Amino acid sequence: MATSAATLSVGTTPTCNSKPCMLPKSNLFNLRFNSPNYFQCFSGLKAAASVSCESESSFLGRESSIALRDSFTTCVTRKNHEPVLCQQPQASSFKVAILGAAGGIGQPLALLIKMSPLVSAVHLYDVADVKGIAADLSHCNTPSQVLDFTGPAELPNALKGVDVVVIPAGVPRKPGMTRDDLFNVNAGIVKSLIEAVADNCPEAFIHIISNPVNSTVPIAAEVLKKKGVYDPKKLFGVTTLDVVRANTFVAQKKNLRLIDVDVPVVGGHAGITILPLLSKTKPSVSFTDSEVQELTMRIQNAGTEVVEAKAGTGSATLSMAYAAARFVESSLRAIDGDADVYECCYVQSELTELPFFASRVKIGRKGVEAVISSDLRGLTEYESEALEALKPELKASIEKGVAFANKQPVAA
């Protein structure tokens, strides 16, 4: 019998107030996306994906079974290589498209989404050929289908019927570059992809990863407005990586359990516009002034830390894929009816005088249900000053995006 057990958890935000329900105990390889309370957030076990194995040494052994409890119509049990189908309750079945799926972020993100029990199909789209990536990914024995779409002619079909579109298409930073240096290339890429989203899946949640997020989200909003399909509740700039980094660095510094730490990060997603609100860290923890300064700067410059370490070969990809997978999973849980989904993200907002601002939001079936204002109350002097200091830069980035979109004709 297998003796090893491992758990992968994506995301750490404790969001659940409902009563915990007990998970069955077993020696399983458990995949858990999102909050540690993910399973507790559901009245039943809605989405527990577990792969059990009976081989002596590895979960890829001769006798293995995949049991996707309460999530899928069928499960496949392999005994002596004979597949046996057994009935399971009905699955949630959402379709997710990744635009830029051949890239450094796109590939690991596709893998993580393929592992989600909430997903029935992963659509991979890129201007580079994604056939091989799709063939490779499709051999993973999780239930979702993998479909490949290469080049603009196949983009409409990549988008039709999807619930969430994730956009990591574009060029990444090289050492010495700011995120804004990517504007000239990525602005046009995001504009053309959003035109296709507007034409083919205007109801989908849109997750924008391509930098500079502070400008690409306003570009997307303008394009969607011109197409007459803008729903501000469904357009998100993905800033989850800032939260993931803040949680990691604070846990390390304060010797806390990683899974317990939650630091809201507000503002935008570049340099000083990234503002971790360390005073709002949960669990409550105190920092010296120099710790606040050091942690804030590390979180703001964490992307550059990776760009420099990769020495010209790209920017954060694996941690970004992890963060993006967490945000996709949160969105799918919200669409699926979980009433307790909160994430920090960059959205249209009235929290400040700026039209777009990253903050904690409550996500529901139809997108943003509420922008949470409480995190911005009772800030420390350091945080209040940093908030005021970030506004001019964020405002300029938003205006740059809007001006770009308004100069460009939108494809009919």
Ligand X SMILES: NC(=O)c1ccc[n+]([C@@H]2O[C@H](COP(=O)([O-])OP(=O)(O)OC[C@H]3O[C@@H](n4cnc5c(N)ncnc54)[C@H](O)[C@@H]3O)[C@@H](O)[C@H]2O)c1
What is the number of alpha carbons within 13 Å of residue 111 lying toward its C-beta? Answer: 13
The answer to whether residue 104 forms part of the interface with ligand X (CB under 6 A) is yes
Closest contact distance (angstroms) between CB of 360 and ligand X is 17
Query: Measured between alpha carbons, how far is 50 from 24 in angstroms, rounded to an integer?
Result: 11
**Residue span binding ligand X (CB under 6 A) among the ranges 79-87, 186-194, 198-206, 253-261:** 186-194
Least gap, CB of 216 to ligand X (angstroms): 8
Residue 51 or residue 324: which is nearer to ligand X going by CB?
324
Residue 177 within binding range of ligand X, rule CB under 6 A: no
Tell me, residue by residue from 228 to 267, as one string, x for binding to ligand X by CB under 6 A and - for no binding.
----------x--x--------------------------
Selected from 2, 16, 182, 299, the binder of ligand X by CB under 6 A is 182
Nearer to ligand X, 44 or 151 (CB): 151
Contact call for residue 401 and ligand X (CB under 6 A): no
CB of 99 to ligand X, least distance (A): 5
Q: How far apart are CA 52 and CA 23, in angstroms?
A: 15
Q: Does 211 bind ligand X (CB under 6 A)?
A: yes
Element at 371 (helix H, strand E): strand 367-371
315 contacts ligand X (rule: CB under 6 A): yes
Distances (CA, A) of 106 to 93, 132, 275, 294, 312: 21, 14, 26, 31, 19
What tokens appear for 60 in the block? 């890829």
Q: Which of 98, 113, 133, 189 binds ligand X (CB under 6 A)?
A: 189
Does position 99 interact with ligand X (CB under 6 A)? The reply is: yes
Catalytic residue among 123, 139, 207, 269: 269
**CB 106 to ligand X: min, Å:** 6
- Nearest approach, Cβ of 172 to ligand X (angstroms)? 4
Q: Is 159 in the site for ligand X (CB under 6 A)?
A: no
Query: Under the criterion CB under 6 A, does residue 164 sit at the interface with ligand X?
Result: no
81 belongs to the catalytic site: no
Q: What is the secondary structure of 9-51 as a DSSP string?
A: EE-------SPP-PPPP-S-EEEEES-TTTTTTSSS---EEEE
Reply yes or no: is the peptide bond before residue 283 cis, omega within 30 of 0: yes
> How far apart (Å, rounded) are the C-alpha atoms in residues 54 and 245?
36
Out of 158, 201, 209, 345, point to the residue binding ligand X (CB under 6 A): 209
- 276: contact with ligand X by CB under 6 A: no
Is the Cβ of residue 106 or residue 264 nearer to ligand X in the bound state?
Answer: 106
Among 34, 40, 71, 210, binds ligand X (CB under 6 A): 210
Cα–Cα dist 378/34, whole Å = 28
Residue 358 is a binding residue for ligand X (CB under 6 A):
no
What are the backbone dihedrals phi and psi of residue 29, each rounded to the nearest 5 degrees, phi first?
Answer: -95, 105
Q: Which two tokens stand for residue 301?
A: 């410059």
Q: Which is nearer to ligand X, 28 or 213 (CB)?
A: 213
Q: What is the DSSP string of 223-241?
A: HHHHTT---GGGEEE--HH
Q: How far is the CB of 367 from ligand X (least distance, A)?
A: 19
Indicate whether 328 belongs to the interface with ligand X (CB under 6 A): no
Give whichever of 16 and 320 is closer to ligand X, judged by the CB atom: 320
d(CA 248, CA 120): 31
Minimum Å gap between C-beta 100 and ligand X is 3
Rounded alpha-carbon distances, angstroms, from residue 235 to 73, 114, 184, 229: 31, 23, 21, 11
User: Is 170 a residue that touches ligand X (CB under 6 A)?
Assistant: yes
Q: Map tokens 């399909």 to a residue.
A: 229
Assess 126 for contact with ligand X (CB under 6 A). Answer: yes
β-strand pairing of 164-167 with 94-99: parallel
Quote the CA–CA distance of 347 and 356 in Å, as a whole number: 5
165 in helix, strand or coil? strand
Q: Which positions touch ligand X (CB under 6 A)?
A: 99-100, 102-106, 126-128, 168-173, 182, 186, 189, 193, 209-211, 213, 238, 241, 269, 314-317, 320
Residues labelled as active-site residues: 269
